[in-house]
Structure 1
Amino acid sequence: MPRPISPPPLKRRRLSPPTAPPSPDTLRIFAWNINGIGPFLPPAQKPITTFFSSTTTSPSPTSGPPKHSLRAFLARHNWPHLLLLQEVHISPTDHATQSAVRRAANPSPPSSSPSLPDPGPTYETHFTLPLHLPNARSSSTPPRRAHHGVLTLIRTDFLHSQKCTLSSPAWDHEGRFSITTTSGIDGWPRLSIWNVYALNGTDYPFRDPVTGEVKGTRHERKREVHALLQEEVRRLEAQGVQVVLAGDMNIARDVRDGWPNLRTRPMEHVVNREDFVGRFFEEGGGKEGLGMMDTFREVNGEEARGYSYRPRGVKWGSSCDRVDYVMVSKGLRGRVREAGILESGQERGPSDHVPVFATLEFGGGVKDGGEGVRTEDSKGHSGGKREADSGREDRSHGSQNDREETQSQGQDGTSRKRSRFSNGVS
């Protein structure tokens, strides 16, 4: 008989960040729905706008520092190889803002960054921005906010050492997917790492990006994209490529991942959830599931609790969801050294999500052919920090148009743990 799920703590706790020290044999991936890049850029002479006007405004390179800092986030987490950002809210024609992002992600002159004595590595940027504007807005009536657009920050040394290429799938016209492909050098497997901002299921119409004709609802398009993404993963795995899907999946996997409960009305949310779980986590079955690994559950245990989405304006811990994931091919089982959710106010920043992360281990000490030895972190808890709150698309509170597969709103804490496996199959 399943044990009842206890509520998340109502007080914010201070828990430790990821503990795994960087090493040449590890790949460190962070994913974060930042709910707009604007707060991370220097103040502009005029507000940054996306899709509302033909004119764009560029942040002045000489303006004061922004309140939030991409560079400080990267430094705080020991310069991860990849930072995958969702909901950047940038127009594809706003080249000034894209240039400002590149500057914000890279070292500044020493005089402008006194708190970062070590300039750290440089990062390359890859933007995937909406090509079809009618599908890239949050509603059919003004004011219409552009939610979409993803950004991959990849460390320059990793880009070159693994001969990475960056691309986007041809079927993505909404700026939701960015792909980093490695070449499998120095004993590493070939990897296809996807930055994912999955669709929010609503009754709004989905329009064909070529003809403009209505082709069902956003619920139906969400499931169609599940099928397209599943086929991409299956094709890559058949070629010997291991796949990582990281980002905002806009859906809570099961009852453990939504507090106080999952969204079940309208029924389309239940259908979307079953489709997602059946295609990606189950193995075989009617949808020929991929059997991918949910790194948070694999590392922290089946009973671990952690939430990545927390709406603002509600009591901390009163409602929240885990909708952001790092998912990996079953061929990477045993390679996950650490995984978790950075649930703290500092890590949430201006967003309504907190970052999620995973560390994969390759090369040196990792041998093929077995699950390896379980090693838990010294505190034996299931996560890192908890602290965040805000409002998002697929939640079960609020309007149908602003929520999707799950219910959500505020909790605190963080979730992270050292991996239970020290080696495994490639």
Structure 2
Amino acid sequence: MLRRHGWPSFLCLQEVKIAPSDEASQRQLVKAANDSALPDEPLYEAVFSLPRDRFNARGFGGKVHGVATLYRKDLDAFRTRKPEWDLEGRILLHELPCGLVVMNGYWVNGTDHPIGTHLQKKGKPVVLVGDMNVARSRIDGHPNLRTSPHQHVVNRKDFNERFFEDEDGMKGIDLFRHVHGNARKYTWHSTSHAHGSVCDRVDYVIVSRLLTESHAITDTDICDNAADKLHSDHVPIWLDVNIPKLESSLAAPSNHDGS
């Protein structure tokens, strides 16, 4: 898959379900990424945030939640942070030399976005990517948008307000909708039905307005096909950023206020 998609700089994975003590599985993930690489092709390393909450991450031998980012070893140095409060292994923050911050996350319903909002206010271009567990609107569910139980409706309203609408919130851009309008593609597919029969768009790339205003985003899309889904119930989503163009935009005189 890495070769087919042009050897991405980062591959952000959610719900890896690896216990913190399971170093063999962590090594196996890196091995799987590199096994088919030819001598002139890039190699990958990985960084993990795995559950360490002794109360909420005890099921299945600790193999719950967890996020991991595979990154190319030939990348320029970047900084990775794990929020101290994230005991369930849900977020990794990667800050590139140009200032771009990529947040790989598994967001449960009701999750807030204080880190993303804080970084925006500091003038950082921010990308949130991952599983948000909620479909935004009618066109994001097929054949129907989930409205029962009513908690789905509550979660959807809360999600839209926190990430897109609240004046005190992130005011982010749903990048797939920004680029592709009302196109119908989905990121989660029921494993009990044929591909495309029962599905939702619940994985997102959400970016700060600073990124769209820089015109550095080359493209984004959803790999909505059975071949890319493989053994998962989710398909990949991707984003391409022109880093030199972003750097030029950030260096230009401006009052980058994160709005």
Tell me the TM-score normalized by structure 1: 0.55
C-alpha spacing 1:364/1:259, structure 2 compared with 1 (3 Å): closer
Match of 1:355 among 236, 241, 250: 236
1:155-207 Cα distance to aligned partner (Å, 9 max, x none): 1222xx2x3111211221111111111122xxxxx1111111112xxxxxxxx
SS across alignment from 1:154: strand
Q: Structure 1 or 2: larger helix share? A: 2
C-alpha spacing 1:237/1:300, structure 2 compared with 1 (3 Å): same
Match of 1:127 among 48, 66, 87: 48
**Superposition pairs for residues 140-289 of structure 1, below 5 Å?**
146-158=63-75, 161=76, 163-184=77-98, 190-199=99-108, 222-223=109-110, 225-226=111-112, 230-282=113-165, 284=167, 288-289=168-169
Unaligned segments of structure 1, at least 5 residues = 1-72, 185-189, 200-221, 370-424
Cα contact 1:196–1:248 (8 A) shared by 2? yes
Give 2:11's aligned residue: 83
Give 2:253's aligned residue: none
**Do residues 338 (structure 1) and 255 (structure 2) align?**
no
C-alpha spacing 1:179/1:365, structure 2 compared with 1 (3 Å): closer
Larger CA Rg, structure 1 vs 2? 1
**Do residues 319 (structure 1) and 198 (structure 2) align?**
yes
C-alpha spacing 1:365/1:134, structure 2 compared with 1 (3 Å): closer
1:7-39 Cα distance to aligned partner (Å, 9 max, x none): xxxxxxxxxxxxxxxxxxxxxxxxxxxxxxxxx
Calculate percent identity across the aligned residue pairs: 41
Give 1:136's aligned residue: 57
Q: Which has the higher contact order (CA 8 A, sep 6+)?
A: 1
Tell me the TM-score normalized by structure 2: 0.88
Cα contact 2:19–2:62 (8 A) shared by 1? no
Runs of 4+ deviating beyond 3 Å: 116-119, 143-147, 364-369
Cα contact 1:255–1:262 (8 A) shared by 2? yes
Unaligned segments of structure 2, at least 5 residues = 251-257
1:138-161 Cα distance to aligned partner (Å, 9 max, x none): 7xxxx7884411110111222xx2
SS across alignment from 2:219: strand
Give the Cα–Cα distance (whole angstroms) in 2 for the partners of residues 312 and 144 of structure 1. 25
1:118-144 Cα distance to aligned partner (Å, 9 max, x none): 551122210111112542367xxxx78
Per mean C-alpha deviation after superposition, the further-off stretch among 241-250 and 332-341 is 332-341
Give the Cα–Cα distance (whole angstroms) in 2 for the partners of residues 144 and 319 of structure 1. 31
The RMSD of aligned alpha carbons is 2.4
